[in-house]
Amino acid sequence: GAVVSQHPSRVICKSGTSVKIECRSLDFQATTMFWYRQFPKQSLMLMATSNEGSKATYEQGVEKDKFLINHASLTLSTLTVTSAHPEDSSFYICSASLQNYGYTFGSGTRLTVV
Amino acid sequence: DQQVKQNSPSLSVQEGRISILNCDYTNSMFDYFLWYKKYPAEGPTFLISISSIKDKNEDGRFTVFLNKSAKHLSLHIVPSQPGDSAVYFCAASASGNTPLVFGKGTRLSVIA
């Protein structure tokens, strides 16, 4: 089946530094990648939609200059959290849409900013 | 404004009994619904889905029912097993290739 590999699974970084999260589609081409964030005991909230070769579309309230999304190829999308702060600590998950209404998810990245 | 609502944050069921998880939605443009199972610090695992042209879809122990007029769907798990204990998310989509909208989840505990 369609698999999205997400790395790293967990990362701890110092406040003010940047962190890059990668999502790779292993056996299919991901034209569109969705990025979600989940705070404890909350829902998965959509942050942005990225389409290969074009600029990402960000949801209201998500700073595009802080959460940089790059989808330069059909198999790789990255999310970079720039100048991270403790309030950015969360669980980040990518998801690719498949044909026939399917969706596949990465395994998620637990980011802790200290 | 929550478009997908799971009003029960938790549910406890005895092993062997039926688990019923409920989900309501407000957006009449949603035409595809999915249920996911999730463990902490892991990505969601797809369970079962249903298109708006159907009112029921069954896969093994899992059955999803959709009531379009009430904008309500439910997931039935029978018989429930301890391994089913997890957080279950309801999600909806307005059409292909659009992002899923998730509910807040229901934590199911199946007691042996």
Structure token pair of residue B32: 């595809």
Is the dihedral angle over the CA atoms B30, B89, A104, B46 positive or is it negative? negative
Summarised one tens digit per residue, pLDDT across range B50-83 is 999 999 999 999 999 999 999 999 999 999 999 9
Nearest CB neighbour to B43, from listed A32, A34, A107: A107
Contacts with B56 (C-beta within 8 Å, 6 or more apart), sequence order: B50, B63, B64, B65, B66
A108 and B101 within 8 Å at the Cβ level: the answer is no
Q: How confident is the model at residue A101 (pLDDT cuts 50, 70, 90)?
A: low
Q: Is residue A32 within 8 Å of residue B97, measured between CB atoms?
A: yes
DSSP character for A59?
P
Nearest CB neighbour to A34, from listed B4, B32, B99: B99
- A1 by Cβ neighbours in 10 Å (0-12 / 13-18 / 19+) ranks as exposed
A107 and B46 within 8 Å at the Cβ level: the answer is no
pLDDT for position A2: 83
Q: Can you give B86-109 as a three-state secondary structure string? A: EEEEEEEECCCCCCCEECCCEEEE
pLDDT for position B98: 86
Q: How confident is the model at residue B41 (pLDDT cuts 50, 70, 90)?
A: confident
Structure token pair of residue A47: 């942050």
Summarised one tens digit per residue, pLDDT across range A69-91 is 999 888 999 999 999 999 999 99
Q: Which residue has the higher pLDDT, B87 or B1?
A: B87
Q: Is residue A110 pLDDT above 70, yes or no?
A: yes
Summarised one tens digit per residue, pLDDT across range A47-56 is 999 988 888 9
Q: Is residue A99 pLDDT above 80, yes or no?
A: no
Q: Is residue A16 pLDDT above 90, yes or no?
A: yes
pLDDT for position B52: 93
Cα–Cα distance, A97 to A108 (Å, whole number)? 16
Q: Is residue A30 pLDDT above 90, yes or no?
A: no
Is the dihedral angle over the CA atoms A19, A25, A26, A31 positive or is it negative? negative
pLDDT for position A52: 86
Nearest CB neighbour to A43, from listed B46, B49, B102: B102
DSSP character for A86?
G
Q: HSE, CB side, 13 Å, CA atoms: give it for residue B106.
A: 24
A106 and B43 within 8 Å at the Cβ level: the answer is yes
Cα–Cα distance, A109 to B52 (Å, whole number)? 32
Q: Which residues of A touch B43 (CB under 8 A)?
A: 6, 93, 105-108
Q: Is residue B1 pLDDT above 80, yes or no?
A: no
Q: Which residues of A touch B32 (CB under 8 A)?
A: 101
